[in-house]
Amino acid sequence: MKPQVKSDGLNASAGLERSEFCLREGERLANMGSWSLKSDGTFDYWSPQTFVLFGFDPSQGIPTFAQWVALLVPNDRACLTRLVEQMFREETRGDITYCIDHPKLGRRAMHSTGESVLENGKVTRLIGNTLDVTEQERCLHEIRRLKDQLYKENIILRDEIDSTSMFEEVLGTSSALQNVLGLAAKVSPTDSTVLIAGETGTGKELIARAIHKRSKRCERSFVGVNCAAIPSALIMSELFGHEKGAFTGALQQRLGRFELADGGTLFLDEVGDLPLETQIALLRVLQEREFERVGGTEAISCDVRVIAATNTDLQSAIASGSFRNDLFYRLNVFPIDLPPLRERKEDIPILVNYFVNRYATRTGKKIDSIQKKSLDALQEYSWPGNVRELQNVIERSLIIVDCNEFSVDENWFSHEFQSSPLPASRKSTEQEQIEAALAQTRGKVAGRNGAAAVLGVPASTLESKIRALRINKHAYKAA
């Protein structure tokens, strides 16, 4: 019977060797190693592939826990140490991805999975395995990068679609407009910050886009944001993005407009409506060319040219304390003042012809002529809503007209709120009405609860009248 026992022992030994060989080869092919860590902080087992993964020499023996942790990048050491301590305190399973500086291969990404082992009701060791996930992490990073790029392009494409219809409307031969276009042509090749001032509807965004198109950044994005249209609680997130969990509803990381415009131009429309807290953050970006996402701690560098626009008197806003003086001077590097349409009335016939042809084509109507009486009326009107109001009147007229001659109904003009000079008594009464409405709405002009709605006039008309009467609407915000 003894030879049989010897034969069984040899077979068992050979089987064990085959199993160990298969385990080693499996770990090598998977680029995965296994290990065992005792509660006193020493490893009592490393598989051969674990030495390869971390770049230690097997002839020097298993490294200490401290030697192994020293391989991790500084930001990951504390997280891993806390997880190990937790697993020794309670029976649990742990998973963690971290980076190491491999002695030969450089920066590598690792994923370790471990479980607590109980002996007599106490955790005495952790056993687990480690997988090199560098390539997987690179693929995930590339997927995230492509996803972010797609997100950027999607937003930019939507903005381009929304603004394409406005591109050709910088029309006119007046000296006032030509002066503006001359300034835009001179500043375009530079990276200087531009501040465009002008009434609502004068075409501030058109000039900003013209500057971008003639700049060295023209191949990159033009990203616009209307600072007045975004709630103050969300404007920081809109401009600078946010991290997942930064606030209620922040279910994932989101890129802000500064990141979307990286390498290109960011257009800040109605910059005078930014909350003071956001003004401070914007000032930092202009000074240091970096920012942090809401809920984040990492400083993100940005290469963005800023073009700002306002339809309000920023000097009055500075005086009332609603706009920062230092931010104004950062933005006002190259100022451009857009003239209102009433100051370049010689351009009105050109604009009328352009809009008539455009909307006639859209509505499928054939217009052979423009009624002289209507053209005269269009030139005499003060246009508090500027080119945008002219565009709306012509579009409305073409919907109504049922012949080949274009004409307009003068009753559509807001004569009661024109910007022409008023008698002193009427001016005083009108100013009192506007100031009372601003006091009631705490300086808010547009929107359902704004002063324009209280007075029953278009917001652009009221803005024009506020400027004409030199009313400081910002003073009512703090009232």
Q: Residue 18: what pLDDT? A: 65
Locate 33 and state its tokens.
């190693």
Q: Tell me the three state secondary structure of residue 94.
A: strand
pLDDT at residue number 428: 53
Q: Which H or E run includes 229? A: none
CA 35 centroid distance within chain: 46
Indicate the SS3 state at residue 132. Answer: strand
d(CA 318, CA 324): 6
Name the CATH superfamily, with its identifier, for domain 143-337: P-loop containing nucleotide triphosphate hydrolases (3.40.50.300)
Q: Are 283 and 330 in contact (CB under 8 A)?
A: yes
Tell me the sheet residues that pair with 336: 196
Gap between the Cα atoms of 308 and 204, Å rounded:
9
Q: Per residue of the chain (479 residues), what is the pLDDT tens digit?
A: 444 545 555 565 665 566 666 666 667 766 788 899 998 889 999 998 889 999 999 999 999 999 999 999 988 998 899 999 888 888 788 889 999 999 988 999 999 999 988 888 888 889 999 999 888 888 887 777 776 666 666 655 555 544 443 334 578 888 898 899 899 999 999 999 999 999 888 889 999 999 999 999 988 889 999 998 888 888 998 999 888 877 777 777 888 899 889 999 999 999 999 999 999 999 999 999 998 888 888 888 889 999 999 988 888 889 888 899 999 999 999 999 999 998 999 999 999 999 999 899 888 888 889 999 989 889 888 888 888 889 888 998 888 888 889 988 777 665 444 444 444 444 456 788 888 888 888 888 877 778 887 787 777 778 778 877 878 888 887 55
* Whole-number Å distance between alpha carbons of 161 and 154: 11
| Residue among 346, 369, 461 nearest 412 (CA) | 461
Please, what's the largest Cα pairwise distance for the chain? 129
Tell whether domain 20-132 is in CATH 3.40.50.10900: no
Count CA atoms closer than 13 A to 8's CA, side-chain side.
5
Residue 41 sits at the vertex; the CA angle it makes with 38 and 43, to the nearest 5 degrees, is 55
Name the burial class of residue 217, with classes exposed (0-12), middle (13-18) and buried (19+) by CB atoms within 10 angstroms of its CB: buried
User: In 311-406, which ranges are E strands?
Assistant: 334-337, 369-370, 405-406
**Domain residue limits, the chain:** 20-132, 143-337, 343-413, 421-476
Return the H-helix or E-strand segment holding 338.
none
Residue the block writes with tokens 């274009």: 406
CA atoms within 13 A on the CB side of 97: 7
Q: Which residues pair with 226 in a beta bridge?
A: 269
The first and second tokens of residue 296, run together, are 């984040």
**What is the C-alpha separation between 399 and 238, in angstroms, rounded?**
38
Axis-axis angle for helices 459-468, 386-400 (nearest 10): 140
Q: List the beta bridge partners of residue 129.
A: 34, 113
Residue 271's Cβ-count burial label (10 Å; 0-12, 13-18, 19+) is: buried
Contacts (Cβ under 8 Å, ≥6 apart) of 125: 36, 37, 38, 39, 44, 117
Token pair listed for 340: 């209102």
Q: Any residues with CB less than 8 A from the CB of 58 and at least 6 apart, and which?
A: 46, 48, 51
pTM score, whole prediction: 0.58
Question: CA 188, CA 194: separation in Å to the nearest integer?
Answer: 10
- What is the C-alpha separation between 400 and 406, in angstroms, rounded? 10
As to burial, measured by CB atoms within 10 angstroms (0-12 exposed, 13-18 middle, 19+ buried), residue 372 is exposed
Please name the residue that has the structure tokens 């002996």.
119
Pull the structure tokens for residue 460.
């652009």
Q: For 89-100, give one letter per residue: b (16+ CB within 10 A) or e.
A: eeeeebebebbb
Task: Supply φ then ψ for residue 242, to 5 degrees.
Answer: -150, 160
User: Quick one: how far is CA 395 from the chain centroid?
Assistant: 33
Per-residue confidence (pLDDT) for residue 93, from 0 to 100? 85
Contact 228, 274 (CB under 8 A): no
343-413 topology per CATH = Helicase, Ruva Protein; domain 3 (1.10.8)
Instruction: Name the residue among 337, 332, 288 with its Cα closest to residue 311.
Output: 337
The half-sphere exposure of 127 on its side-chain side, counting CA atoms within 13 A, is: 5
Cα 245 → chain centroid: 17
